[in-house]
Structure 1
Amino acid sequence: MTMPLDIAKLADILRLAAKTEILPRFRRLGGGDVRSKSEPSDLVTEADEAAERLIRRELEALAPDALFVGEESVAADPALLGKLANVDFAVVVDPVDGTFNFASGIPAFGVMASVVWKGEAVAGLIYDPMGDDWVMAEKGAGAYLRRPDGEAIKLSVAEPRPLEAMVGMASPGYFFGERREQILANLAKVRFFANYRCSAHEYRTFSSGHVQFVLYNKLMPWDHLPGTLIAAEAGGHVARFDGSPYRPHHVDGGLLVATCRDSWQMLRREIIGD
């Protein structure tokens, strides 16, 4: 399909935001530069807000007709999130994914963006400021690791493994009560699972072929639209827990990504259960 904006230019904007507003603040945040939002571990920093302002300003020049949906913009105006269900053209941005890590001085965070066209994600980008590279995909064109010098490496998910040999990424913190206990107990069936507190790096890890699954319960479009498209273009199977497709306006229903449909079904049965 024809992209409604230049993806290479969008990639450059994410990098510019990181170089200008994010990296200069890394491990240099003052006491008033970090604030809690919904809970003590849900943070926003001056870097998040400054980076989002820069990205929005640059996008208004690049794609003036696009609805801009940024994580911090939605925090200020929650009604903005609901517009994704019906808009023809939008750009969804997470200025600093992994804010808890960033604020803690842990070098595992990313800058993410996705392009939504007529109800579906058609491009996704995840920029790693520390590694200075992107993983990115356009719908139907495969997924790639791209570097600033133009080098591009095609990405492919890992080979399937039996359940007991699987390694994956899971975020059990957004399951609650007995459901959380059930999920954690079921995850003992796999060989190993981790949680980077950063979906940017979890999707990069999956799409680069290093783990067999990623699992989330909380769905916000800026956290998952780029990674799910990249994962699918790298050969993975993506669906909500009930097997339905994941769409830009979905904010519930859970999300499971696996190396293939058969692995997805096995993980759904053994880990998610009824």
Structure 2
Amino acid sequence: MTSPVDVTILADLLRRAAQTEILPRFRRLGSNDVRAKTEATDLVTEADEQAERLIKAEVSTLWPEALFIGEESVAADPALLHRLQGADLAVIVDPVDGTFNFASGVPAFGVMASVVVKGETVAGIIFDPMGDDWVLAEKGGGAWLRRPDGEALRLSVAIPVALEEMVGMASTGYLPNGKRAEIMGNLAKVRFLTNYRCAAHEYRTFAGGHVHYLMYNKLMPWDHLAGTLISQEAGAYAKRFDGSPYLPHHIDGGLLITPDKASWELLRREVFTV
């Protein structure tokens, strides 16, 4: 499926926002440039807000018919999120994914965007400002690593392995009370667990074939739509915990992504018993 939004133009816009509003502020944030939102680890910076403002203005000019949903726009107006399910066309943006890392001076953050048409994700882009390249996908067109010089490399998920050999990433902070300890104990069954505090880089790592699973419980569209589509286009099996498809309007129900269905069922049964 071809996206009605030109993915190349949108990808270049994310890069320009990073170069203009994000990178100049990296490790240069003042005390008034960082604020907590819902808790001490949920941060917003001047870079987030200015980058989203730039992207939103350009999207409104290039695709005026599109509903624009940005993480910071929804923080200011939560009702905006409910318009996504009924939108004919929407562009969803996370201006700085991994804000905690960015504010801490850790070079693991990204800029993400997805395109949704009538309730279906048709394009996803993850830009790495530090590496200056994109991982992107259009539905049905595969997942690609693209560099500014035009070089492109097709991505593929890892070859499935036994449970005790699996290496992956899980975000356990939003698991239900009483379940976190159980699942953390279950994770002793796999070879390795990590968490970058940055979904952008976790999805890039998975789609590149370097890890065997991703798990998230809280689902916000700017965090997961782009990465899930990219993962699926790289060959992944992605479902919510109940086995249903992950759709753009979902904000809960968990998400487990693996190289194949058998790995998904094994991890769901043995580890992620939510």
| TM-score, structure 1 normalization | 0.99
Distance 1:138 1:188 in 2: 36
The equivalent of 1:155 in structure 2 is 155
Matched positions, count: 274
Amino acid aligned to 2:36: S
1:38-70 alpha-carbon deviations (Å, 9 max, x no partner): 100000000000000000011111111000000
Distance 2:49 2:183 in 1: 34
Measured on the aligned residues, the alpha-carbon RMSD in Å equals 0.7
The equivalent of 2:68 in structure 1 is 68
Residue 85 of structure 1: SS of its match in structure 2?
Answer: coil
State the Cα distance separating 1:251 from its structure 2 match.
0.3
Pick which of 167-176 and 126-135 moved more: 167-176
Residue 61 of structure 2: SS of its match in structure 1?
Answer: helix
State the Cα distance separating 1:182 from its structure 2 match.
1.0
The equivalent of 1:218 in structure 2 is 218
Residue 47 of structure 2: SS of its match in structure 1?
Answer: helix
The equivalent of 2:43 in structure 1 is 43
Distance 1:104 1:55 in 2: 24
State the Cα distance separating 1:9 from its structure 2 match.
0.2
The equivalent of 1:18 in structure 2 is 18
Structure 1 consecutive aligned stretches of length 4 or more whose deviation exceeds 3 Å? none
The equivalent of 1:264 in structure 2 is 264
Contact 2:2–2:138 under 8 Å retained in 1 = no
Amino acid aligned to 1:160: P
Q: Map residues 15-164 of structure 1 onto 2, 5 A cutoff.
A: 15-164=15-164
Name structure 2 gaps, 5 residues minimum: none
Q: Percent identity?
A: 69
The equivalent of 1:3 in structure 2 is 3
Pick which of 176-185 and 132-141 moved more: 176-185
Residue 193 of structure 2: SS of its match in structure 1?
Answer: strand
Amino acid aligned to 1:40: A
Residue 179 of structure 2: SS of its match in structure 1?
Answer: helix
Residue 84 of structure 2: SS of its match in structure 1?
Answer: helix
Residue 157 of structure 2: SS of its match in structure 1?
Answer: coil
Distance 1:249 1:182 in 2: 29
Distance 2:155 2:49 in 1: 31
State the Cα distance separating 1:174 from its structure 2 match.
1.0
State the Cα distance separating 1:255 from its structure 2 match.
0.4
| TM-score, structure 2 normalization | 0.99
State the Cα distance separating 1:235 from its structure 2 match.
0.2
The equivalent of 1:181 in structure 2 is 181
Task: Confirm whether residue 227 of structure 1 aligns to residue 245 of structure 2.
Answer: no
Amino acid aligned to 2:191: R
Task: Confirm whether residue 240 of structure 1 aligns to residue 240 of structure 2.
Answer: yes
Amino acid aligned to 1:66: A
State the Cα distance separating 1:189 from its structure 2 match.
0.6
Distance 2:6 2:192 in 1: 39
Pick which of 74-83 and 170-179 moved more: 170-179
1:158-192 alpha-carbon deviations (Å, 9 max, x no partner): 00000000000111111143111111011111000
Distance 1:193 1:213 in 2: 9
Distance 1:172 1:200 in 2: 17
Amino acid aligned to 1:209: G
1:186-234 alpha-carbon deviations (Å, 9 max, x no partner): 1111000100000000000000000000000111000000000000000
Contact 2:74–2:80 under 8 Å retained in 1 = yes
Distance 1:273 1:27 in 2: 40
Distance 1:86 1:193 in 2: 37
Contact 2:241–2:255 under 8 Å retained in 1 = yes
Amino acid aligned to 1:116: V
Contact 2:164–2:190 under 8 Å retained in 1 = yes
